[in-house]
Every structure is written in structure tokens, then in C-alpha cells.
Amino acid sequence: MATRRSLFVAAVSASLFSLSVAGHAALTSSSDAHVTFRASGPAGMTIQGTTTDLKVSEDGGNVVVDVPLANLNTGIDLRDHHMKEKYLEVPKFPSTTLVVARTALKFPPPDGHAEGDAQGTLKLHGQSRPVTFHYEAKGAPGGFAVQGKFRVNMNDFGITVPTYLGVTVKPDVDVSASFNVAGS
């Protein structure tokens, strides 16, 4: 009788474990990505840059959001050149990466909504620093629609604050991203 009960407990435990694992299938790919940064300067000056390059994956229990910087575009070729070559040093530091423990995130049910604040590690310009971000996620067929935002200070990452013709931008930059990701 004790052996039968032990087998039953083992079977129930195995079933619960397999449900738990199935409920946490890896995030596999992203689409419809849009990443924006917004910097400001004196007299209401605003610089906005965008890219559609964004990759989402999972690694060792972490969600990894990687944004290649080569296609970042502000709409002015000379400014883009300075941003990529002089300030971000894209040839040396080709991407920025946000790593977040999956357990720090709330995942919505298939047709539901979840939002919150979480902390991750941002690697930018060869430096890694903790960052707190706000996010919203909605269940979508086969995955999630995600939006997130945070503020970063260029000084914290060793990025020289851009100056051109005597005009200097503020070191705080607002970053936002939206994308769809497959998985559960």
C-alpha cells in the first residue's frame, strides 16, 4: 500500500512538473519591433532615434533583449554618423542588451494583460549597469505583444555627452520599445 501511494505521489509530482515546464516554454523570436530613444537639449531641442532591429531570446532562465545599433537612425545622416562613430562607438560596441530574470516578469494569460516594473541589467557601450523599467504585455496568438520603457544616463555608461556647435544634449535619455514575441 505504501509503495502504491509513493507511486501515486511521484506520478502527481511528475505531472505538475511537466505542466510547469510547458507553461514556461522559451521565448523564441520577435517581430514588429520598434525601438526609440529620445534625448533633449536646450530651448526644447529633441533628438529622436529609431530602429526596428531587436531580438528576444532566453538564456539560463533570463529573458535577453538585444538591440543592434548599426541601423539606429535619427533622420539626419551627419548626426547619425557622429552618434554611431563618436559617441556610441558602434564598430567597437555593436549592440545593447537588456537581461532580465524571467521570474521578475509577469506573463499574461492568452487573452490577458500584465504590467509592472522590473529590474534588469543593461549592457551598453561595454558597461553593465542595473536598470529599472516599466513594461506592459498582452497575450497574443502564439505569444505576447510587449511595450517597455526606461531612462538611462549616458554618463553611467561612459558615453561622452554629445555636443555640436556649442549645443549639448542632456545626459538622460528616454528609451522605449515595442515588439511581439513568440512563446509562452
Say yes or no to pLDDT of 138 above 80: yes
CA 40 centroid distance within chain: 22
The pLDDT tens digits for 3-45 are 333 333 333 333 333 233 334 457 877 789 999 999 999 888 9
The pLDDT assigned to 25 comes to 54
In CATH, which of 3.50.50.60, 2.40.128.110, 2.60.40.10, 3.40.30.10 is domain 25-182? 2.40.128.110
The pLDDT tens digits for 114-136 are 999 999 999 999 999 999 999 99
* Interval 86-105 mean pLDDT: 97
- Sign of the four-CA dihedral 27, 28, 32, 38: positive
* Interval 72-88 mean pLDDT: 95
Say yes or no to pLDDT of 80 above 80: yes
Say yes or no to pLDDT of 98 above 90: yes
Q: What is the spatial distance between Cα 182 and Cα 144, in angstroms, rounded to a whole number?
A: 7
pLDDT above 90 coverage of the chain, percent: 71
Lowest-pLDDT range of 17-21, 85-89, 140-144, 174-178: 17-21
Q: Please, which residues have CB within 8 angstroms of residue 73's CB and are 6 or more apart in sequence? A: 49, 50, 51, 80
Say yes or no to pLDDT of 174 above 90: yes
The pLDDT tens digits for 43-74 are 889 999 999 999 999 999 999 999 999 999 99
Query: For the chain, what are the domain ranges?
Result: 25-182
Name the burial class of residue 166, with classes exposed (0-12), middle (13-18) and buried (19+) by CB atoms within 10 angstroms of its CB.
exposed
Give the three cell numbers for residue 91: 564598430
Closest to 124 in 3D by CA, of 92, 102, 149, 146 = 92
What is the Cβ-side half-sphere exposure of residue 124, based on CA atoms within 13 angstroms?
25
Q: What is the DSSP letter of 6?
A: H
